[in-house]
Chains A and B, each alone.
Chain A
Amino acid sequence: MTTDVQGLGAGDSKLRDPRVRAIIYQILVIVLFVAFVAYVGSNTAENLEKRGIASGLGFLQQPSGFGIGIVLIMDYSSQTSTHFDVLLIGIINTLAVSISGIFLATIIGFIFGVLRLSKNWVVNKISAVYIEVVRNIPLLVQLLFWYFAVLGVLPLVKESLQIGDNFYVNNRGINFPSIIPSEGFWVIPVALILAIVIGVFISKWAKKRQDLTGQTFPVFWTTVGLIIVLPTIAALIMGLPYTIDYPNFGRFGIKGGWVLEPEFLALWIGLSVYTGAFIAEIVRSGINSVSHGQTEAANSLGIRAGLAMRLVVLPQALRVIVPPLTSQYLNLVKNSSLATAIGYADITAIFAGTSLNQTGQAIEVIGITMLFYLSISLIISMFMNWYNKRIALVER
């Protein structure tokens, strides 16, 4: 028993019992916390009431009444769409830039991380300069740089750079032809998914075969071939179920086709370059953490340098890389809220910005926005934790 640590005998107050005291303190803390939350909540409600400020989520059903510059997937009209649609568009736009940003930042990070370890002095220093410069300038400044100083000084629309027949670059973005689906188009994405599924099976089969017989199989190129060939066959069978919309010059700028707006480009590039620099350092430290003996062991077994990196060093380095990498992904998603400075229509700009302002329901709108960022961050964490577990060292 540990009750008598202070050497006090029976008959002493129960309050001297550390276990009882611990329970009392915990109850006290919980009561205080609940009371605090209740106090803040009722105080807020009372003050809202007193100032005649409406509350509740009814505003989500009201028509929004304003235009949004960048709308993906959904249809949006200022007259019929609601603030809820604004929320969805904000979420889609935030996810679009976050996912493409994570993708590009990872590529940039891994390339520069590996280059940073190069024995070639020039390559090494280029990578070092990139990392040190980019990591030490605030992201907002960099975004403004990309938006105003880089994309802003591209040629005017009428003097667009033309690449090929239908590809234009100007200060309003990058224009290229778009594919407009017609009847039977669904076959093509289905064929694409089928190709990927077959690819997964082939890779499993190839691994099993290699384990059994030692023979390798060109899984990568087979899958790439499938991904190209299957949808093409599907498209030909259905008689090309789409039309192509080419960009052409209208009175104001270029009409038709798809356009990557400068707001999106600036945010995407800015976030990727910034986060990429941090990822590069993480990758470098990860690779450095793998003992040089591992490389030497691989070499002594006759494994080529490239393969040794891919099969021996990187899998071990990943265990060090993945946890901090997760933080960088989370940072990138949260930093995307700086979009509002350069006019990209993300959730912070249009929902926590315009919708909040038009409805005035700051508490609800900010609450929903916070909930969104929290959910996305937790989902990314969960996924990365799962991946981390999967690649973790299996003790035998």
Chain B
Amino acid sequence: MKKAIFIAVAASATLLATAATAGTLDDVKAKGFIQCGVTTGLAGFAAPNNDGKWEGFDVDFCRSMAAAIFADPDKVKYTPTTAKERFTALQSGEIDVLARNTTWTFSRDVNLGFEFVGVNYYDGQGFMVKKALGVKSALELDGARVCLQSGTTTELNLADYFTANGMKYDSVLFDTADEVREAYMQDTCDVYTTDQSGLYAQRSVIADPEAHIVLPEIISKEPLGPLVRHGDNQWGDIARWTLNAMIAGEEHNISSANVDDLKANTKNPGIARILGTSGDLGEQLGLSKEFAYNIIKMVGNYGESFSKNLGEGTPLNIARGLNAQWNKGGILYTPPMR
């Protein structure tokens, strides 16, 4: 009898328990690290280096968040996700934030229940072919066999572009960027399509980069950015202003090299607000006053992260282009930090 009563009580307790969830910030603080979703490996954006440590442009964003919250950029654990798995991982709470060159689209923002916190890379979809094929324009690709990654906006753009131009294609879908590259290198397909940044990243790791060209056409807008679950606005704000602090840092010429100096000596009230020597921006987020200082000091500003991972001098060798600051010919523009 006692056992039966016990079971009944346990059952009703389970029934009464609601799906109460604390804020993501509290959860993250309690466990002591951020669980950050990244790619399974895309040179320049997120890939393990020779020591097995994750590095790259998207990884820097995860590290910035850790710097903002814990004042320690290493308090991040990485979950490699394929394009297909990434959304489920975020929806289910397996990861706290997804920084995985993900395109901001209407349906992902609204229907999937996510909150895009900004754009950290303005991209567009392109095509890469072997030079030997003699193709000069994407409009000559009628009848080609195209390799691409499944579960991406790439699939949709490709179908739209070929239909709009009255062309046909065969698609071969793979789960990870590496499998796509492998199939393209084996000549199983004529064309490799993904965001142009991805094409440059992949070209940088193949044996003979000169034998391949990225065609001039850009067939889509791909604003890539980090995202969080919809509904936890505080967490969303932290992610959004972590990104904005990196961009604002570059805009105000605050870099990891001069940040200590500026913090001590600046007369510029805008910089003082960002670095937390005046005002309480950090505290409004539920973080310390110095959250932006920590980001820039420990990880660097947007420009530093870009040139370290993607820019000229790296194997990817990508020009800033659209991703330059708004006052330097690009469209990178952060709302004021005040």
Contacts and interface: CB of A to CB of B under 8 A. Distances in A.
Interface string B79-91: 0000110011001
B171 interface: yes
A172 B145 contact: yes
A224 interface: no
Contact of A67 (B88, B169, B186, B231): B169
Contact of B175 (A32, A78, A263, A340): A340
A357 B83 contact: yes
Interface residues of B, number: 55
A199 interface: no
Interface string B141-153: 1111101001110
Interface residues of A, number: 54
A20 B288 CA distance: 64
Interface stretch (A270-278, A301-309, A345-353, A376-384): A345-353
A354 B150 contact: yes
B145 A52 contact: no
A54 B145 contact: no
B190 A360 contact: no
Contact of A39 (B15, B87, B170): B15
Most A CB contacts (10 A, CB to CB) among B150, B158, B162, B169 go to: B150
A148 B173 CA distance: 15
Interface in A22-40: 24, 28, 31-32, 35-36, 39
A255 B11 CA distance: 64
A356 B91 contact: no
A178 interface: no
Task: Determine the main DSSP class of B at the interface with A.
Answer: mixed
A79 B158 CA distance: 11
Nearest to B232: A51
A359 B110 CA distance: 11
Given A15-B1, A358-B156, A250 B88 contact: no
B23 to A, nearest CB: 13
A362 B145 contact: no
Contacts of A153: 186
A304 B145 CA distance: 55
B172 interface: yes
Given A253-B145, A353-B150, A28 B163 contact: no
A350 B173 contact: yes
Most A CB contacts (10 A, CB to CB) among B144, B158, B160, B172 go to: B172
A43 interface: yes
B54 interface: no
B207 interface: no
Interface in B16-32: 18-19
A304 B27 CA distance: 77
B126 to A, nearest CB: 17
A264 to B, nearest CB: 11
A132 interface: no
Interface string A168-205: 00011000000000000000000000000000000000
Contacts of B218: none
Contact of B159 (A65, A172, A252, A356): A65
Contacts of B174: 341-343
A171 B111 contact: no
B80 to A, nearest CB: 16
A50 B231 contact: yes
A262 interface: yes
Nearest to B134: A251
A9 interface: no
A4 interface: no
Given A15-B1, A47-B19, A152-B186, A68 B112 contact: no
Interface string B222-235: 00000001110000
Interface string B167-181: 001111111000100
B173 A69 contact: yes
Interface string A243-263: 000000011110100000011
Interface in A111-168: 148, 152-153, 156-157
A356 B19 contact: no
A102 B186 CA distance: 29
Nearest to A155: B187
A46 interface: yes
Most B CB contacts (10 A, CB to CB) among A32, A39, A354, A357 go to: A357
Contact of A356 (B84, B147, B156): B84
Contacts of A353: 84, 150-151, 173, 175
Given A171-B187, A360-B108, A354 B91 contact: no
19 contacts: A15-B1, A32-B7, A35-B15, A50-B19, A51-B91, A51-B230, A53-B111, A66-B156, A67-B158, A79-B159, A152-B188, A172-B145, A252-B145, A253-B145, A341-B174, A353-B173, A358-B155, A358-B156, A362-B87
Interface of A: 15, 24, 28, 31-32, 35-36, 39, 43, 46-48, 50-54, 65-69, 77-79, 148, 152-153, 156-157, 171-172, 250-253, 255, 262-263, 340-343, 345, 349-350, 353-354, 356-360, 362
Interface of B: 1, 4, 7-8, 11, 14-15, 18-19, 83-84, 87-88, 91, 107-108, 110-113, 133, 140-145, 147, 150-152, 155-156, 158-160, 162-163, 169-175, 179, 182-183, 186-188, 190, 229-231
Given A32-B7, A67-B155, A356-B151, 8 more contacts: A65-B155, A67-B159, A79-B163, A172-B188, A252-B141, A263-B172, A343-B174, A360-B87
